Amino acid sequence: MAITDVVNSSFSKWMDGSGTFPDIVISSRIRLARNLANTPFPHLLSEQALKQVVDKLKQAVGSNEAVKAAGNVDMAPLSELTSLDRLLLVEKHLMSPQHAQAATEGRAVVITGDESISVMVNEEDHLRIQCLLPGLQLAEAWKLANAVDDAMEAKLDYAFDEQLGYLTSCPTNVGTGLRASVMVHLPGLVLTNQAGRVLSALSQLGLAVRGLYGEGTEAIGNLFQISNQITLGQSEEEIIGNLTAVVKQIIGQERESRKLMVHEMKHQIEDRVCRAYGLMSQARIITSQEAMAHLSDIRLGVDLGILRGIDNRVLNELIVSTRPAYLQKLAGKEISPFERDIKRAEIIRERIGGRQT
């Protein structure tokens, strides 16, 4: 699959609703930061030097069997992607906002056919390998990302110190260079006013809680990203094991909060869910914030059995297909916020109609 196909579709593998605990965990991500030895970090390189790094990594990716196993692979210079295409890759979680906004010359992105693996070239580091899978599959994502990394390291000389580990542009990534994260849907904890207490305690465990698109973004639609903050002094397996254990505890707390709501607020929750569905299935104008809030209520209704006939895969895809970049891609031109609100409502009506209660 060419990257042109990726940016023309709102679907990615992480949306398919498989994996474990898919009712609460939307996706699992492993990201590895790597740099070339004896080469300054990207922000210190000239445009020509950045292009040389791209050429080296292109050769390594082209011979990487682990990457090829995930489907046809395409590597595109950012200069060949429009600003809208780059934003759409951000919305699909295949590229960071920082990479999308950087000067395009001397930077690139690699994406596999099933979109489970993407590689950012010359973002904050020379190489950022990402594996993104549906549900709670951190161990599986790590296995895949590690295989890609090992194959790359066989072709490239990484910046590595025997005591410190992998050397990275940001000191917080030094060591394993590993960031593991999960995207979770926690309406139960939010609606029962427990989210603040539960999530604030995670910092004491070396974990961070961020919004839908990572650092610096807000949590919308009751979606949160939980990730490790410590990369030095622990092995990759320990980091992943700790995060997995904590996420399973949060899953248990979320399920208990949902049971509490059904027991103590059954009619209020049913009313909230059905009002959300009624509005989303009939509205002609919907803002992005409003869509995410009501989609969260609909997802909760599906998980609790209040709504039937709506696949969580559809709701996962709507996270992307209702965002500004995809709406403009669909329109084939830049459209105003008001026009996007109209198009967003149209897409939602088409995708969630015909359900049963």
Q: Please report, for the domain that includes residue 197, its CATH number.
A: 3.30.590.10
- Residue 64 binned pLDDT confidence (cut-offs 50, 70, 90): confident
Domain count, the chain: 2
Answer whether residue 57 is part of any domain.
Answer: yes
Answer whether residue 357 is part of any domain.
Answer: no
Q: Are residues 248 and 318 in the same domain?
A: no
> Per residue in 7-16, is it b (16+ CB within 10 Å) or e — as a string?
bebbebbbbb
- Residue 219 binned pLDDT confidence (cut-offs 50, 70, 90): confident
Lowest-pLDDT choice from 2-6, 38-42, 268-272, 310-314: 2-6
Mean pLDDT of 160-169: 96
- Residue 212 binned pLDDT confidence (cut-offs 50, 70, 90): confident
Lowest-pLDDT choice from 62-71, 170-179, 245-254: 62-71
Mean pLDDT of 227-231: 93
Q: Which of 256, 286, 305 is the last residue before a domain boundary?
A: 256
Helices (H), the chain: 3-6, 47-62, 65-68, 83-91, 97-101, 138-153, 187-191, 195-200, 236-264, 266-282, 288-303, 312-321, 324-331, 337-352
Residues 6+ positions from 179 with CB-CB distance below 8 Å: 29, 30, 31, 33, 173, 227, 228, 231
Answer whether residue 230 is part of any domain.
Answer: yes
Q: Are residues 141 and 280 in the same domain?
A: no
**67 has pLDDT over 80:** no
Answer whether residue 239 is part of any domain.
Answer: yes
**320 has pLDDT over 80:** yes
Q: Are residues 11 and 110 in the same domain?
A: yes
- Please give the residue range of the domain that contains residue 288: 266-352
Answer whether residue 316 is part of any domain.
Answer: yes
- Residue 203 binned pLDDT confidence (cut-offs 50, 70, 90): confident
Assess contact for 325 and 90: CB atoms under 8 A. yes
Q: Are residues 123 and 230 in the same domain?
A: yes
**72 has pLDDT over 80:** no
Closest CA to 304 of 270, 341, 338, 349: 270
**Rg value, the chain, Cα:** 21
Q: Give the tens place of pLDDT for each residue, 233-261.
A: 999 999 999 999 999 999 999 999 999 99
What integer pLDDT is reported at residue 4 of this predicted model? 84
Q: What type of residue sits at position 250? A: I
**More confident: 161 or 57:** 161
- Which two structure tokens, joined as six digits, stand for 82? 């429009």
Q: Are residues 191 and 68 in the same domain?
A: yes
> Per residue in 38-54, is it b (16+ CB within 10 Å) or e — as a string?
ebebbeebeeeebbebb
Q: Are residues 144 and 207 in the same domain?
A: yes
Quickly list DSSP for 193-229: T-HHHHHHGGGGGTEEEEBTTBTT----TTEEEEEE-
Residues 6+ positions from 297 with CB-CB distance below 8 Å: 187, 272, 273, 275, 276, 277
Closest CA to 88 of 217, 226, 213: 213
Mean pLDDT of 152-176: 94
Give the C-alpha separation, 313 to 315, whole Å: 5
Q: Are residues 22 and 168 in the same domain?
A: yes
Q: Are residues 68 and 209 in the same domain?
A: yes
Q: Are residues 333 and 191 in the same domain?
A: no
Answer whether residue 261 is part of any domain.
Answer: no
- Which two structure tokens, joined as six digits, stand for 30? 């492993």
**77 has pLDDT over 70:** yes
Q: Are residues 172 and 300 in the same domain?
A: no
Assess contact for 180 and 29: CB atoms under 8 A. yes
Q: What SS3 state is found at 180?
A: strand
Closest CA to 189 of 206, 176, 202, 180: 202
Q: Which of 203, 226, 256 is the last residue before a domain boundary?
A: 256
Residue/partner pairs of 165-171 with CB below 8 Å, 24 or more apart:
165/231, 165/232, 166/33, 166/34, 166/35, 167/35, 168/33, 168/34, 168/35, 168/124, 168/125, 169/33, 169/35, 169/41, 169/42, 169/43, 169/124, 169/125, 170/33, 170/124
Q: Which of 209, 237, 256 is the last residue before a domain boundary?
A: 256
Assess contact for 80 and 4: CB atoms under 8 A. no
Q: Are residues 297 and 317 in the same domain?
A: yes
What integer pLDDT is reported at residue 103 of this predicted model? 78
Q: Are residues 244 and 172 in the same domain?
A: yes
Answer whether residue 201 is part of any domain.
Answer: yes
Answer whether residue 273 is part of any domain.
Answer: yes
Give the other-Cβ count within 10 Å of 217's Cβ: 12
**160 has pLDDT over 80:** yes
Give the C-alpha separation, 30 to 149, whole Å: 11
